[in-house]
Amino acid sequence: MKAILLSLLSALPAAVAPRAQVTALRAGHLLNGDGKVTKNALVLISGGKILAVKPGGALPAGAEVVDARDLWVTPALVDCGSSMGLAPGNATEEDREVEPAVRAADALDLTDPAFKRALASGVGTICVLPGSKDVISGLAAIVRFTGKDGAPRIVNPAAALVAAMGRDPVAGNIRFPSSHYFRRPTTRMGTVWLFRKAFFDARAASPDTKDPGIRILREALAGRLPLRILARPEFDIRTALNLAEEFNLRVAAVDEAQEAWRVAALLRSARVPAALAPSTRISRADMVKQEWNFAARAAAAGIPAAIQTGRGGGGLSLIAQARTAYRLGMEKGAAFRAVTLVPARILGMEKRIGSLEKGKDADLVLWKGDPFGPAGKVVCVFCGGRKVYGRTPSSKEGSK
């Protein structure tokens, strides 16, 4: 009932529903999704949406006041790539190498404590990617904490089609015909060929085919379904972009693209953001020549860069990744955009989340100090205007 009521309320413009309760949040510091800091800001929330964000000013009459004058307020973070809720070893369907119709949403364990942990570290939206052991491993799901009592809920079971370049799909395949595991791809070339073949086949198939996989590939060919392509080293990123151009595919992001900064011009002109791997781990996997400051370099090169906890990033805190990128030279604003606004764009949800702006969802986090400083700890998290984690600071003082 409550949920229906809430969604009804949020559907109505504030003017039509004058009786909708307005919450006024007084923020000591507001660090917004664009990376800018405003002191003593006022955030007005109603019906789960943000009514206004003002640099201070008078409190509206009758508003419920949340006094966060000694706290930092930010939009809830967005983790645009993780394997939360997919049991380890259960993230890729390895029956075939091209599995467009496999959906992460169908196997998602929403009771996985990893979701709660993510929420406790300030994350409000999570994109769960199927594993990377297939060339095309299926559909990514988006989870938000808008369920009952702030439980995680799948809000989009088909957010993007997930593919992988590089060595990951080769893993486990053996090139000797005598083996039970004999299967393409066994090389990077094979990976690319299988990707191509999938889309050739989709193009060649009859228009009224019932094959769900082909229908999904056609959605991608028509530009209605974006792709997320795992491409770590420079040449994989180039390959991914070439393939996208060849089939006129829309790439939402190249994933774990540590070497994105080496192909900055290309990514910029293709308008493809990079969803970077965690900053705290030095990885030389998959022929990557990783620099400590790959995130800083990507941002400095003008690539819209997001940071994700990534597949197998269980236990990593997203803000800690941004913090590390900041320490390693990424500008603070860019580091914060990398976990808010940029991933929101990658998920195609920039009109709803990623920053605190009029009309967006009231997804916000209250921190005890600067999230980038030694005191930055999550106090509470709101999702869609509802408190879903932690304790709201006392609201007595302001409400008189």
Partner 1 sequence: MSISGGLSMGTVRILSLILAQAALAALLPAQDLAVRAPKVLTLSGPPIRDGLVLIQNGKILRVGPASKVKVPMTVKEIVLRKGVVMPALVLAATSQGMDRPNENMAVTPFVEAADGIDPVQPFFEECRRVGYGTVHVIPGSNCILGGVGLVVRPFGPSILSMTVAEPRIQAMSLSKSGMGRIQAVFTLEKALGDMARELSLKAREAREKKEEALAKGEEPPEEKDSLLPGEKRNLAALVKGKGKAFFYCSSKDDLVYAIRLSRRYGFELVPVLSNSCRDAAPLLKKAGLAAVLSPRIEFEETDPDTGEKIHRCPAAELFRAGVPFALTTEYGSDLSKRFPLWQAAAAVRNGVSPEAALAALTTVPARILGLEDRLGSLEKGKDGNLLLLSGDPLDALSWTEKLVIEGKVVYDKAKDPLLQKIFPPEKRKTSGKGGGK
Residues of this chain that bind partner 1 (CB under 8 A): 113-114, 116-117, 120, 279-283, 291-293, 296, 315, 320, 323-324, 326-329, 372-377
CB 386 within 8 A of CB 147: no
Q: Considering the complex, what minimum distance in angstroms separates the CB of residue 309 from partner 1?
A: 13
Closer residue to partner 1 (CB): 158 or 285:
285
Q: How far is CA 220 from the centre of its chain?
A: 19
Q: How far apart are CA 277 and CA 305, in angstroms?
A: 10
Check: CB of residue 79 under 8 Å from CB of residue 343: yes
Q: Is the CB of 120 or the CB of 151 nearer to partner 1?
A: 120
The nearest distance, CB 114 to partner 1, in angstroms, is 8
Q: Can you give the length of the chain in residues?
A: 400
User: What is the distance between the alpha carbons of residues 2 and 253, in angstroms, rounded to a whole number?
Assistant: 36
Q: How far apart are CA 213 and CA 221, in angstroms?
A: 12
Q: Tokens representing 269?
A: 């002109």
Least Cβ distance, residue 134 to partner 1 (angstroms) = 27
**What's the closest the beta carbon of residue 278 comes to partner 1, in angstroms?**
9
Output the smallest distance, CB 336 to partner 1, in A: 12
- If the CB atoms of residues 266 and 320 are measured against partner 1, the closer one turns out to be 320
CB-wise, 195 or 326, nearer to partner 1?
A: 326
Q: Are 189 and 200 in contact (CB under 8 A)?
A: no
CA distance 159 to 392: 32
The span from the CA of 118 to the CA of 101, in Å, is 27
Minimum separation from the CB atom of position 49 to partner 1 (A): 31
Using an 8 Å Cβ cutoff, are 26 and 67 in contact? yes
Nearer to partner 1, 3 or 282 (CB): 282
Q: Which residue, 89 or 315, is less far from partner 1 as judged by CB?
A: 315
Reading the block at residue 141, the tokens are: 């799901």
Least separation in angstroms between CB 277 and partner 1 = 12
Minimum distance from residue 265 beta carbon to partner 1 (Å): 19
Report helix angle 212-221 to 188-204, nearest 10: 90
User: Whole-angstrom Cα distance, residue 5 to residue 321?
Assistant: 37
Cβ neighbours of 307 (radius 10 Å): 32
For partner 1, which is the closer residue by CB, 60 or 329? Answer: 329
Residue 185 preceded by cis peptide, ω within 30? yes
Q: Which is nearer to partner 1, 41 or 325 (CB)?
A: 325
